[in-house]
Amino acid sequence: MGATGHLGTAWRKRDYHRQWLWREANRLFDFFQNRAFNPLGGFHELDVDGRPLNAGNPVRGIHSTARMVHSFAIGSLLGRPGSDDIVDHGMKFLWEKHRDHKRGGYHWSLDNSGLLDATKQGYGHAFVLLAASSAKLAGHPDADRMIADVTEVLDKHFWEDRHGAIAEEFEADWTPIEGYRGQNSNMHLTEALMAAYEATGERFYLDRAERIADLIIRRRAAESGFRVPEHFDEDWVLDRDYRGNEMFRPSGTTPGHWLEWTRLVLQLYALGGRKHAWMPEAAKALFDQSIALGWDKEKGGFYYTLDWDDVPAKRNKLWWPMAEGVGAAAFLCEHVPDDKHEFWYRRIWDTISRHVLDNERGGWHEELTEELTPSYTLFAGKSDIYHALQACLIPLYPATGSVTRGIIEAGNR
């Protein structure tokens, strides 16, 4: 019967599927590598055809710069020509332009004329740590100093030991922006802390990742029936009435984050020596809820947000929850084997293949309507390689750590 009973051999083990994943990863590298490179520093966001948005004076957000560094550090580890130039270009921009050389920390966004948003946000600093950690594994000479710098900033300004998580946001002069704590920045910091642990071997990073997961998943998500709450006050009390940025802090709950945490919790479980029995149980519960409540059973795809009665609120379907669904299902297939997980791994890829891949122009459609047709209400084009690339590569490596670690352990250097 094969590895998954009546479903036969798992797709991740089949040569054809693995070749298909490699092809799709290469299509993403091809789409972004040269088009996104901005000779004036940083990277362009791209329109639907792969042309720079606002080419004369584009906004460069810190998360976009850092994600390109991380993604092309993966390209470098794989042996993709041109990747090292992308990594170097992005690392230089992070260090010279985003970094506050007087007061420390990293600003959120800038354009050709200078800073646009000088705030210092936990979300952005998480991605700086991820970028620097991946760059270190790819051999970048400035990675160690950036890891040390952003770690010091996170420790000094963001980390709140009484809670085991980070604060959200500060003004440029480190005046706290009060009243809010968010899971999204802490979720991405969990990913970055694991990357830093893999890059440095320092247990400190893994310990902090485990503390964040304990707060947000073992306690707060469990208290909400494994719907991951997004928004809290400064004491980490759930704020169900919060209304914020529709891209980074949408109201209600976000099933895509339940899927993202599914993978991250299992990765943390593996890196930590499989000692926390609650982690695979929580991961399975998160995935089950995302399918039961977040998947459109009639048309397919994950709704962007739900209200607190589990009714779809923002009914559009974004690319990144489906990308994260692939990674979640792949990790579950390894750590919590079940035909159901293999079935959903295949079904999510079926939906991506039919509706999300832009086979004509390249890249992935980043937003679909409820009816699964391309839409541009939140995203003007194709701005991000990170989620889609990881979806293609995660299933190709053992579910024991990050993609970068998997590549290195496979000897593809």
Q: Give every strand in the sheet of 60-61, ordered side by side.
A: 60-61, 109-111, 114-117
Q: Which of 208, 206, 85 is nearest to 135 (CA)?
A: 85
Q: Do 378 and 318 contact (CB within 8 A), yes or no? A: yes
Q: Give the distance, in angstroms, between the CA of residue 96 and the centroid of all CA atoms in the same chain.
A: 24
Taking every pair of Cα atoms in the chain, the longest distance, rounded to a whole number of angstroms, is 63
**Residue 221 and residue 265: Cα distance in Å, rounded?**
12
Q: Do 21 and 38 contact (CB within 8 A), yes or no? A: no
Q: Do 322 and 352 contact (CB within 8 A), yes or no? A: yes
User: Exposure pattern of 289-316 as b/e (b: 16+ CB <10 Å)?
Assistant: bbbebbbbeeebbbbbbbeeebebbbbb
Report the relative pairing of strands 181-182 and 231-232 from DSSP bridges: antiparallel
Catalytic residues: 257, 387
Report the relative pairing of strands 169-170 and 165-166 from DSSP bridges: unpaired
Q: Do 403 and 391 contact (CB within 8 A), yes or no? A: no
Strand partners, 61: 109
Q: Give the distance, in angstroms, between the CA of residue 89 and the centroid of all CA atoms in the same chain.
A: 21
**Residue 103 and residue 21: Cα distance in Å, rounded?**
44
Q: Do 42 and 93 contact (CB within 8 A), yes or no? A: yes
